[in-house]
Amino acid sequence: MKISFNRCIRDGDLIIVNERHDTMKAVKVCENLVIQNRVGVFKHSNWIGKPFGSIIFSNKGGFVYLLALTPELWTLVLSHRTRIL
């Protein structure tokens, strides 16, 4: 299966939410959920149908980037321990 980066975000997708240059989180999109962070409140229902790489603005004027899941971003998001896996 080939990964397409031109597709839109759908309900149930696992995406990367880039809050700042050093803060990223993996989030599963569910239509009735909400994420709150220091820059505002983000509804998942506003994300559905947007293309990957979109900038989403919060109620307070802050923003996040919605990125597609790639192996490079996945390794940055996972918490690393001091043991060999």
Q: What is the pLDDT along the chain (85 residues), one digit of tens a residue?
A: 455 555 889 998 999 999 888 889 999 999 999 999 888 999 999 999 999 999 999 988 899 999 998 988 888 888 777 766 6
Hey, which CATH number is domain 14-77, 1.10.8.10, 3.40.50.12280, 3.10.330.20, 2.70.98.50?
3.10.330.20
pLDDT at 1: 44
* pTM, 2 dp: 0.80
Instruction: Report whether 44 contacts 28 (CB < 8 A).
Output: no
